[in-house]
Amino acid sequence: MQVQIIGTSDVVDLNYIDLRTGVNWIADFVGNAGGFGSPENGLIGYDDEAEMHIATRETVDWWLDMVAQYQALDTRLADARREHGSEVVDAYLYGNGYGDYEFSDLPAQGMALLDDFEAWIRADADA
């Protein structure tokens, strides 16, 4: 999704590629998080005349950071699931409150839970 920075001619590409399918689902990601609306409210808007999404630099930078954090979490989750099995990883994560966080806090919380999971696996292997 291309987003023009308000007040400039700069255009930034926002992409969120699903690791399993290769599909770019950035529009769903932003929309599901309530990220579309008035740029004056820190959201991504749409300029009908220019036929392009628009936002402030601050908003675009925030979304770039969120995408990077979520994609890093996706990669780490995929690695853990591949190594230990989805059922084991998901049971541990969801049993410890994964998903019960605000949108912007979820990646950090997910990474912390994965740290705890890996420590639990190591302790179990050492026992």
Q: What is the per-residue pLDDT across 12-65, written as a single tens digit (0 to 9) for each?
A: 999 999 998 999 999 999 999 999 999 999 999 999 999 999 999 999 999 999
Mapped onto helix, strand or coil, the DSSP state of residue 112 is helix
Residue 124 has pLDDT above 90, yes or no: no
Q: What is the pLDDT of residue 125?
A: 78
**pLDDT reading at 90 higher than 90:** yes
Is residue 106 within a helix (H) or strand (E), and if so which, with residue range? helix 106-126
Question: What pTM value is reported for the model?
Answer: 0.92
Exposure letters 75-114 (e unless 16+ CB within 10 A, then b): ebbeebeeeeeeeebeebbeeeebeeeeeeebbebbeebb
